Amino acid sequence: MASCISLLTVTAFPYGTLSVNLIGSFLLSFIAYGSSLKWNLPKKCILAINTGFIGSFTTFSTFSVDILNLVNNGEYTFAISYVLISIIAGLTFSWLGIYLATKLYSKVEMKAEQ
């Protein structure tokens, strides 16, 4: 049992949490903009998808614990890098979701009009 616990507290860069949060940032923006541009979903449905499914997929609490674990283990460079990468890449992935939804569904609208 002790080996299982030690595996959970390994002080490595938290790539798993980072990747899940970045994917979630992209999906949230893509679905929010895609739904407003093309799918015409009711606002309650969009809210349920975004907060219910994607919000539970991403994990701010794990992000916070990961940072505290890195700091407590003296991994200050990893902690600062993790925060900066999460914020900058998260915003970038959100922008990419908006950009892709806009490009994708604007083309669909143009084809439908022809």
Q: Which two tokens stand for residue 114?
A: 């022809």
Q: What is the pLDDT of residues 77-109, one digit of tens each?
A: 999 999 999 999 999 999 999 999 999 887 655
pTM beyond 0.85: the answer is no
Q: Is pLDDT at 2 greater than 60 in this prediction?
A: no
Q: What is the mean pLDDT of residues 56-83?
A: 92
- For 94, other C-beta atoms within 10 Å of its C-beta total 20
Q: Which two tokens stand for residue 80?
A: 């600062």
pLDDT of the residue at 11 = 52
Whole-angstrom distance, CA of residue 114 vs CA of residue 104: 16
Q: What is the pLDDT of residues 27-44, one digit of tens each?
A: 989 988 888 777 777 888
Higher pLDDT: 52 or 11? It is 52
Biggest distance spanned by C-alpha atoms of the chain: 66
Domain boundaries, the chain: 16-113
Whole-angstrom distance, CA of residue 71 vs CA of residue 80: 9
Region of 58 (left: φ > 0; alpha: ψ -120 to 50; beta: rest) is beta
pLDDT of the residue at 5 = 47
Whole-angstrom distance, CA of residue 55 vs CA of residue 28: 8
3-state SS of 65-94 is HHHHHHHHCCCHHHHHHHHHHHHHHHHHHH
Whole-angstrom distance, CA of residue 71 vs CA of residue 84: 14
pLDDT of the residue at 4 = 45
Q: What is the mean pLDDT of residues 64-78?
A: 94
